[in-house]
Amino acid sequence: MTDRPRAWIRLPSGAALDLINPSPEAWTDRDLALRLARTYRWGGESVWPWPLSVAQHSLLVLALREHWAQTEGEPLSNEAALAELLHDAEEGFLGFDCISPLKRVLGEPFRIVADRLMQAIALRYQLPDWTAASHARHKQADSIAAASEAVHCTGWSVGEVRNVLGIDHPVLEIDPLQAIYGGQAWEPWPSDVAAERFLQALRARWPAPDETGVRDAASVGR
């Protein structure tokens, strides 16, 4: 036993993760995909039957970055694509998408927990460090995705996106994910669909087997 603070969550695989002292070996890829598919953006608000998941948002950001890179004649490496796909991965374990203004109010303890989770994810998937240029392009894609989701998925007006949410990036009319997956433009996917599509994208860029590395709750964090 230890007096070190712990905060365990059960994962879909039956394994457990300590949110305060996360082990990179504690989850499977499917655990991560399911958790992100069950974690909703925009406070769970939606003009559709389903809220928008962090998994679907992550795929949208990846689609934008891959499209831009292809257009510019410099396709994203698997490592760069993984960084885009997993940019919000810690939210799946925290269980909610915390907007930046709220993060500032929650303060340093929340930031430390989120950063430790992201460090474990970066170690697990060998994510590259952002460069100034790659981070700027990522933030552009993330902000365009957010502006578009706010209007098409959540019901904010374009003016509210600018004046209330403070997002100055353009709102897309064409849904980049529709060209890849079909369906109705901007419609949030059911969680099982979002999980499978996220998992497929992850495994296409991270083919290493992962199931054998997961340890049970008794051994994680020893």
Q: Which pLDDT tens digit goes with each residue over 92-137?
A: 999 988 777 888 888 888 889 999 999 999 999 999 999 999 999 9
Helix and strand numbers (H, E) in the chain are 10, 2
Q: Which pLDDT tens digit goes with each residue over 203-214?
A: 999 987 555 444
Q: Residue 157 above 90 pLDDT?
A: yes
Q: Which of 25, 141, 147 is nearest to 83 (CA)?
A: 141
Percent of the chain whose pLDDT exceeds 70: 92
| Backbone phi, psi, residue 8, to 5° | -85, 140
Q: Which of 214, 211, 178, 212 is nearest to 197 (CA)?
A: 178
| Backbone phi, psi, residue 10, to 5° | -85, 140
Q: Residue 143 above 60 pLDDT?
A: yes
Q: Which of 130, 156, 142 is nearest to 59 (CA)?
A: 142
Q: Which pLDDT tens digit goes with each residue over 31-55?
A: 999 999 999 999 999 999 999 999 9
Q: Which pLDDT tens digit goes with each residue over 4-21?
A: 778 999 999 999 999 999
* Nearest-angstrom CA–CA distance, 106 and 222: 29
Provide the token pair at 219. 């051994």
Query: Residues 6 or more apart from 107 whose CB is under 8 A from it?
Result: none
Residue keyed to tokens 């996106």 = 161
Residue 210 has a pLDDT of 55
CB 23 within 8 A of CB 117: no
Residue 106 has a pLDDT of 85
| Backbone phi, psi, residue 9, to 5° | -125, 145
Residue 209 has a pLDDT of 59
Residue 102 has a pLDDT of 82
Q: Residue 216 above 50 pLDDT?
A: no
Residue-averaged pLDDT of the chain: 91
- What are 53's strand-pairing partners? 40
Query: Residues 6 or more apart from 124 whose CB is under 8 A from it?
Result: 24, 25
DSSP-derived 3-state class of residue 134: helix
Q: Residue 173 above 90 pLDDT?
A: yes
The letter for the amino acid at 5 is P
Domains of the chain are 26-202 (1.10.3210.10)
Residue keyed to tokens 């712990």 = 6
Residue 94 has a pLDDT of 95
Tell me the average pLDDT across 129-147: 97
Q: What is the pTM of this model?
A: 0.91
